[in-house]
A and B are shown apart, each in its own frame.
Chain A
Amino acid sequence: MSSHSSSTSSQPAPFDLSAWRNVPTVLMVIGGIGAVAAAILDPKHAAFSYLTAYMFFLSFGLGGLILTILHHLFDAAWSVPIRRINEHLACLLPTLALLFIPILINVLMAGNDNIIYHWIVLLKEGKPDHAVTSKYPLFTVNSFVAAWVICGVVWTVLSRGLRKYSLEQDKTGSIECTRTLRRYAAVGVFLFAITLTLAAIMWMKALQHEWFSTMYGVYYFAGSTWTTLATVYLIVWLLQRQGPLREVVREKTFYFLGSLLFAFTVFYAYVTFFQYFIIWNANMPEETFFFVSREHGVWFWVSMVIIFGHFFGPFLTLLRIDVKLLPWVMIPLASWVWLMHYVDMTFNIMPVMFPEGPHVSWMDFACVAFIGGLLVKLFLKSLNAHPMFPQKDPRFAEAMDIYVPEGKLAQAVGARAAKATSGGKH
Chain B
Amino acid sequence: MADVIANVEVKAPPAGLEREPLVLNQRSLGWISDAIAGVAEGKTPRWWWIAFIPSVIAMTVMTVMIVYLLSTGVGVWGPGHPVMWGWAIINFVWWIGIGHAGTLISAILFLLRQRWRTSINRAAEAMTIFAVMCAGIFPLIHIGRIWLGWWLFPLPNQNSIWPQFRSPLMWDVFAVSTYFTVSLLFWYMGLIPDLAVMRDRAKTKIRKFAYGLFSLGWTGSNRHWSNYEKAYLILAGLSTPLVLSVHSIVSMDFSVSQLPGWHTTIFPPYFVAGAVFSGFGMVLSLLIPLRTILKLEDIITVRHVELMCKVVLATGSIVGYAYAMEFFIAWYSGNPYERYAFINRAMGPYAWGYWVMIGCNVIVPQCFWFKSIRSNMLIVFILSIFVNIGMWFERFVIVVISLHRDFLPANWGYFKPTWVDITTYMGTFGLFFTLFLLFIRFMPIIAITEVKGVTPQADPHHPLGGAKPGGHH
Residues of A within 8 A of B369 (CB): 186
Interface membership of A325, Cβ < 8 A:
no
- Say how far B202's CB is from chain A's closest CB, in angstroms: 34
Interface membership of A126, Cβ < 8 A:
no
A2→B8 contact, CB < 8 A: no
B265→A244 contact, CB < 8 A: no
Contacting residues of chain A (382-401) with chain B, CB-CB under 8 angstroms:
388, 391-392, 394-398, 400-401
B16→A175 contact, CB < 8 A: yes
Q: Which residue of A lies closest to B13 (CB)?
A: A394
**Given contacts A212-B333, A214-B265, A408 and B9 within 8 Å (CB-CB):** yes
Residues of B within 8 A of A410 (CB): 2, 5-6, 8
Q: Which residue of B lies closest to A197 (CB)?
A: B325
A278→B13 contact, CB < 8 A: no
Interface membership of B19, Cβ < 8 A:
yes
A1→B12 contact, CB < 8 A: no
Interface membership of A413, Cβ < 8 A:
yes
Please measure, in the bound complex, the distance between the C-alpha atom of A397 and the C-alpha atom of B248, giving whole angstroms: 40
**Given contacts A212-B333, A408-B8, A190 and B317 within 8 Å (CB-CB):** yes
Per-position contact with A for B442-473: 1 when CB-CB < 8 Å, else 0? 00000000000000000011110011000000
- Say how far A13's CB is from chain B's closest CB, in angstroms: 12
Q: Which residue of A lies closest to B19 (CB)?
A: A398
Interface membership of B322, Cβ < 8 A:
yes
A278→B1 contact, CB < 8 A: no
- Say how far B245's CB is from chain A's closest CB, in angstroms: 9
A173→B265 contact, CB < 8 A: no
Partner of A134, one of B266, B334, B461: B334
Contacting residues of chain A (280-311) with chain B, CB-CB under 8 angstroms:
281-282, 284, 286
A270→B256 contact, CB < 8 A: no
- Say how far A131's CB is from chain B's closest CB, in angstroms: 5
Interface membership of A113, Cβ < 8 A:
no
Interface membership of B408, Cβ < 8 A:
no
Q: Which residue of A lies closest to B259 (CB)?
A: A282
B contacts with A: majority SS:
loop
Partner of B4, one of A131, A178, A244, A406: A244
Interface-centre pick from B10, B13, B113, B266 (highest chain A CB count, 10 A): B10
Partner of B329, one of A1, A214, A395, A424: A214
Contacting residues of chain A (234-292) with chain B, CB-CB under 8 angstroms:
243-244, 246-248, 259, 270-271, 274-275, 277-279, 281-282, 284, 286
Please measure, in the bound complex, the distance between the C-alpha atom of A137 and the C-alpha atom of B271, giving whole angstroms: 31
Please measure, in the bound complex, the distance between the C-alpha atom of A400 and the C-alpha atom of B334, giving whole angstroms: 54
Chain B contact residues (Cβ within 8 angstroms of A): what range? 35 or more
A217→B263 contact, CB < 8 A: no
Residues of B within 8 A of A138 (CB): 332
Contacting residues of chain A (192-250) with chain B, CB-CB under 8 angstroms:
193, 197, 201, 212-218, 243-244, 246-248
Interface membership of B87, Cβ < 8 A:
no
Q: Which residue of A lies closest to B339 (CB)?
A: A134
Please measure, in the bound complex, the distance between the C-alpha atom of A284 and the C-alpha atom of B267, giving whole angstroms: 17
- Say how far A347's CB is from chain B's closest CB, in angstroms: 17
B14→A175 contact, CB < 8 A: yes
- Say how far B6's CB is from chain A's closest CB, in angstroms: 5
Interface membership of A402, Cβ < 8 A:
yes
B4→A243 contact, CB < 8 A: yes
A175→B1 contact, CB < 8 A: no
Residues of B within 8 A of A1 (CB): 113
Contacting residues of chain B (78-131) with chain A, CB-CB under 8 angstroms:
111-113
A282→B263 contact, CB < 8 A: yes
Interface membership of B190, Cβ < 8 A:
no
A218→B266 contact, CB < 8 A: yes
- Say how far A154's CB is from chain B's closest CB, in angstroms: 16
Interface membership of A331, Cβ < 8 A:
no
Please measure, in the bound complex, the distance between the C-alpha atom of A395 and the C-alpha atom of B11, giving whole angstroms: 9
Please measure, in the bound complex, the distance between the C-alpha atom of A2 and the C-alpha atom of B465, giving whole angstroms: 13
Partner of A412, one of B10, B13, B256, B334: B10
Interface membership of B33, Cβ < 8 A:
no
Please measure, in the bound complex, the distance between the C-alpha atom of A248 and the C-alpha atom of B5, giving whole angstroms: 8
Interface membership of B335, Cβ < 8 A:
yes
A395→B13 contact, CB < 8 A: yes
Residues of A within 8 A of B248 (CB): 270, 274
Interface membership of A407, Cβ < 8 A:
yes
Interface membership of B264, Cβ < 8 A:
yes
Residues of B within 8 A of A278 (CB): 252, 255-256, 263-265, 267-268
Mind listing 28 A-B residue pairs with CB under 8 Å? A135-B331, A135-B334, A175-B17, A178-B17, A201-B332, A212-B333, A214-B266, A243-B4, A246-B1, A274-B265, A278-B255, A278-B267, A282-B258, A284-B258, A286-B333, A286-B335, A391-B9, A394-B11, A395-B13, A397-B11, A403-B461, A406-B10, A406-B11, A407-B9, A409-B8, A410-B6, A426-B460, A426-B466
The 10 closest A-B pairs by CB, nearest first: A134-B334, A426-B460, A405-B12, A214-B266, A215-B265, A281-B256, A409-B8, A274-B268, A394-B13, A212-B333
Q: A247-B4, A395-B17, A406-B10 known; 16 other A-B pairs, CB under 8 Å?
A: A1-B113, A2-B460, A134-B331, A135-B331, A193-B321, A216-B265, A218-B266, A243-B4, A259-B112, A270-B268, A281-B252, A402-B10, A407-B9, A408-B7, A412-B10, A426-B460
- B residues engaging A (CB < 8 A)? 1-2, 4-14, 16-17, 19, 111-113, 244, 248, 252, 255-258, 263-269, 317, 321-322, 325-326, 328-329, 331-335, 369, 460-463, 466-467
